[in-house]
Amino acid sequence: MYVHTPYFPALRSLLAPLGRRVQHLRQQSLCHLELLLSPLLPPGLLSQADEGANSRDRVYSLRRTFFGFLYQVLNPDCPCRQIVRQIQALFALHDQGPVDEGTSAYCQARKRLPLDRLQRLRLAVAATAEQTAPLWHGLCPKVIDATTLTLPDTLKNQQAYPQPSSQKPGCGFPLLKLLGVFSLATGQLLDYAKGNKHQSELRLFRGLLDQFKGGDLLLADRGFCTYVLLALLLGRQVFSLLRLHHSRPCDLRKRTGFSVGRSQSKSPLGCLIAGGRRFRRN
């Protein structure tokens, strides 16, 4: 898959500390990566199954394969052969016998990674991170943004995520729209929704409303600035900070629960704050 646009392009300079942490993880060996991240993961989710797939005692166990795959995600240019070599070095260090230098066994083990366990791991890590996340003025800021991805050109993908009609059949790739909810304090992906190019971001966001609870602060661009969404969030005791949409009236000072603050840009529309709380500028 190829990502067309990164999440939060205007905020990437502010998220630099998170980038430095990722860079630190990329410099670790496979063994050290496991030592650093193991305390954050529920131990039972990476244990061998009692029966069926991932139940046999293999060189590429579920846990070892997961961290090998995670290493490749952190280092996109890392080939499977490099993971095999690190496993060979690990086995030689502990006198556990030789490991075949071929990549077939590792690739097959990677295909056996159960999707449900990966999703449960993501949710567990997100929950752990949220428990220690600092608050901003007593609120928990959460950011939403969307991107599009190019998928492999298969018949199944074309049916679910059709390519733009402006492209001739066979000359384009399926497009997937991905909407993510992130914690601003930790950078953790809390949840996501996916759809095709015909589904709007607002429609995808409706399926993620349960991620927001009382005391949260939603940050989003002007594409999410609708009265219906603001009302749904206020009903959940959730504050909103959104850029005012160009088609919305600018002066909302007479509306209860809404206030307008002007941004530093040249646009006079500024930001729409729903919830009625006043914040003192530091």
Instruction: Identify the residue with better confidence: 57 or 100.
Output: 100
Residue 230: name the closest of 253, 257, 262 by CA.
257
At 51 the pLDDT is: 64
pLDDT > 70 in the chain, percent: 77
Domain residue ranges in the chain: 2-119, 133-274
Report yes or no: 238 and 260 within 8 Å, Cβ to Cβ: no
Cα separation, 5 vs 3, in Å, equals 6
Q: Within a 10 A sphere around the Cβ of 95, how many other Cβ atoms?
A: 6
Q: Within a 10 A sphere around the Cβ of 54, how many other Cβ atoms?
A: 21
Amino acid, single-letter form, for residue 96 = Q
As beta bridge partners, residue 146 has: 179
Instruction: Identify the residue with better confidence: 33 or 2.
Output: 33
Cα separation, 41 vs 63, in Å, equals 11
- Over residues 51-76, the mean pLDDT reads 82
pLDDT > 90 in the chain, percent: 19
Cα separation, 54 vs 61, in Å, equals 7
**133-274: what fold?**
Nucleotidyltransferase; domain 5 (3.30.420)
As beta bridge partners, residue 139 has: 136
DSSP 41: S
Amino acid, single-letter form, for residue 190 = L
Mean pLDDT of the chain: 79
Report yes or no: 184 and 260 within 8 Å, Cβ to Cβ: no
- Over residues 218-228, the mean pLDDT reads 87
pLDDT digits over 176-196, tens only? 999 999 988 888 888 899 999
At 282 the pLDDT is: 45
- Going from the C-alpha of 240 to that of each of 218, 247, 273, the distances in angstroms are 5, 18, 6
Residue 133: name the closest of 56, 188, 86, 177 by CA.
188
- Over residues 162-172, the mean pLDDT reads 78
Q: 162, exposed or middle or buried, with CB in 10 Å at 0-12, 13-18, 19+?
A: middle
At 8 the pLDDT is: 61
